[in-house]
Amino acid sequence: MKFTVLMSIYHKEKPQYFDRAMQSVWNEQSVKPSEIVLVEDGVLTEALYQVIGEWKERLGDVFKRVVLAENVGTGRAKNTGIKECSNELIAVMDTDDISLPNRFEKQLAVFENSDIDVCGAWVGEFEDDETRIVSYRKTPERHDDIVKFAKSRSPVNHPTAMYKKASVLSAGNYSELRSSQDFNLFIRLIMDGAKIYNIQKPLVNMRMGNGQLETRRGGVKQAIFEASVQKEFYKMGFLSFFELVRNVVVGVSIRILPNRLMKVAFKLIRKL
């Protein structure tokens, strides 16, 4: 079964992280993709161009570069990239994450044996050493439980997602949001009737070191943005008014906490 790996990269990515990500989706996979689409989101650094060029030389036509003249953000970059994918099945990959060796094999098996539109999995989070997992992001397995979970949290770990291109396009593709565009997409997929399944084991390891995760999630600006995301879900008819108020109150309360306390709060929420 043929599939495409979709990635987007911008100038702040570290070349060694991208190279490691590529090793994990090509060198180490039990089943290799027939196509890798890399969206270059604006002008990159010379070091990134060098590593990208090396992979292009090595993989040839398998490795497809889509060049954007200016940085447009992850949402718009993937919106463009998905249209360039040749295969119906698309696996998402972040350029600083690591796919475990049997990721694609396990996800393809789900598509071969089930009538689903999206297949995700758990992720392991690490700081500096990829062999030392410090926490897991777990998501429910079955569609009905996934929908309930989506009332308060993203129902699929986006870096693990493999989905049908037609289903994503039917739901309107990625939005142009610079944040939470994946959460927004999964809610629209559910509203469009797509079926989702999450494999109950980690298939991707994700970087979260140097306080970057807390910085990205915290602060008044982020709290206000997240409230607007929840308001949009309410307008779409996915959330009730009570669910909207609950999510906004909880979300704002957590995101204005000091980083250390916010980190603890997110860990506690994942255990619920």
Determine the pLDDT at residue 268: 54
Cβ distance 89 to 11 under 8 Å? no
The predicted pLDDT at position 215 comes to 45
Q: How confident is the model at residue 171 (pLDDT cuts 50, 70, 90)?
A: very high
Host H or E run for residue 136 = strand 135-137
What is the C-alpha to C-alpha distance for residues 128 and 113, in angstroms, rounded to an integer? 37
The structure tokens listed for 255 are 């995101």
77 sits in which H/E element: helix 74-84
pLDDT tens per residue, range 213-252: 444 455 667 778 888 899 999 999 999 999 999 999 887 7
pLDDT value at residue 211: 47
* pLDDT at position 166 over 90: yes
In what helix (H) or strand (E) does residue 46 lie, and over which residues does it extend?
helix 46-59
Question: In this structure, what token pair is assigned to residue 48?
Answer: 């990134």
Distance CA 128, CA 125 (A): 10
- Say if residue 7's pLDDT is above 50: yes
Confidence band (pLDDT; 50, 70, 90) for 264?
low
Average pLDDT, the chain: 91
The 10s digit of each residue's pLDDT in 98-117 is 999 999 999 999 999 999 99
User: pLDDT at position 213, please?
Assistant: 47
Please say if the pLDDT value at position 210 is more than 60: no
Residues 6+ apart with CB under 8 A from 44: 9, 10, 11, 13, 52
Q: Is the pLDDT of residue 153 over 70?
A: yes
CA distance 135 to 157: 14
Q: 172-186, 191-205, 249-263: which has the highest mean pLDDT?
A: 191-205
* pTM of the full structure: 0.90
143 forms beta bridges with: none
36-92 pLDDT tens trace: 999 999 999 999 999 999 999 999 999 999 999 999 999 999 999 999 999 999 999
pLDDT at site 267: 58
